[in-house]
Amino acid sequence: MSAPLPSAKSPPSHVAIIMDGNGRWARERGLVRAEGHAEGARSVREVVRTCREVGVRWLTLYAFSLANWQRPQAEVEALMRLLIRFSEREAVELKERGIAVQVIGDLDELPTATRRAVEHLVASTRPEGGAEPTMTLSLALSYGGRRDILDAMRALAVRVKAGQLLPEELDERWLRAQMSTRELPDVDLLVRTGGEQRLSDFLLLESAYAELYFTPVLWPDFREHHLLEALDTFARRERRFGLTGDQVQQTRVDA
Ligand code: IPE
Ligand code: IPE
Ligand code: MG
């Protein structure tokens, strides 16, 4: 029997993943990009299960960005169909595992059939009687970090204009309460597959102190052991939040 990884003992509370590399995975195999996305859905299944098993409480997946609307229509349509299939296929198992699905971004911008399927997934995985879910899976759909901040600022400006709020009362809590990520804690570990080292407008505010983990592995190839490796790396990092290393060590001793 192999020893449990250190990460199994201290998992990050909130893991966010930029699932990149589906297109390249397909091209390497002479397949159409949509087939890369379909294989990527299998990685989603596996990563969701593993996160829940190791005790991650919040998993946020970048499934479709605002900028992705500019892709060829056929690819966008394939992604929208895939979302319907995923929502239909996974609902029962997610519910059984106590995983609640929610959406960040703008669900209203999706085609009606996709929006309905995702709404159904959200409703059918909602825990009964106000119970705490084992894990919350947030799907970022038609999501852009800058847009989310801007929309929140607009909502606040309206309240200020209406005299319900004074400019000097505005603080980060007010801002965050208006965002589509309002229920999410800050990101602890941000993973990006596919080799690029950028954020592509994902969780800009929420990742301010996230540990970043970039891997060249293409998303459709990213499976359980890759995730465990990322969690293991996270467990070995020292998060300082502006303090000195000595201060952090001292806090640990005092705790
Ligand atoms: C990520 O894979 C999936 C989405 C953006 C929806 P890509 O489709 O971006 O794959 P590459 O980056 O072209 O390989
Ligand atoms: C980011 O990947 C969006 C998702 C994974 C959904 P992209 O492939 O769209 O990002 P860029 O274009 O390489 O920055
Ligand atoms: Mg990409």
| Separation CA 94–CA 125 (nearest Å) | 7
Q: Which of 200, 207, 218 to mutate to test the pocket of ligand 2 (most atoms within 8 A of CB)?
A: 200
Answer whether residue 1 shows pLDDT above 90: no
- Ligand number nearest to the C-alpha of 140: 2
Q: Which atom of ligand 2 is nearest to the CA of 200?
A: 14
- Which CATH number describes the domain made up of 14-146+185-254? 3.40.1180.10
Answer whether residue 8 shows pLDDT above 80: no
Q: What is the model's pLDDT at position 253?
A: 86
Other CB atoms within 10 Å distance of the CB of residue 137: 26
| Separation CA 191–CA 50 (nearest Å) | 15
Residue 15: which of 57, 72, 64 has the closest Cα? 57
Q: Pick the range with the lowest mean pLDDT from 5-14, 218-227, 245-254.
A: 5-14
User: C-alpha distances in angstroms, 142 versus 60, 106, 166?
Assistant: 14, 5, 32
- pLDDT tens figures, 109-153: 999 999 999 999 999 999 998 899 999 999 999 999 999 999 999
Place 233 in a pLDDT band, splitting at 50, 70 and 90: very high
The binding-site residues of ligand 2, defined as CB within 6 angstroms of any ligand atom, are 18-20, 62-65, 67-68, 196, 198, 200
Q: Give me the residue spans of the domains in the chain.
A: 14-146+185-254
Indicate which residues carry an active-site annotation.
20, 68
Q: Which of 17, 19, 24 to mutate to test the pocket of ligand 1 (most atoms within 8 A of CB)?
A: 24
Give residues with Cβ within 8 angstroms of 2, minimum separation 6.
none
Residue 61: which of 107, 14, 108, 11 has the closest Cα? 14
Mean pLDDT of 165-178: 96
Q: Report the percent of the chain where pLDDT is more than 70.
A: 96
Which DSSP string do the residues of 111-139 spell out, in sequence order? Answer: -HHHHHHHHHHHHHTSPGGGPPPSEEEEE
- pTM for this predicted structure: 0.95
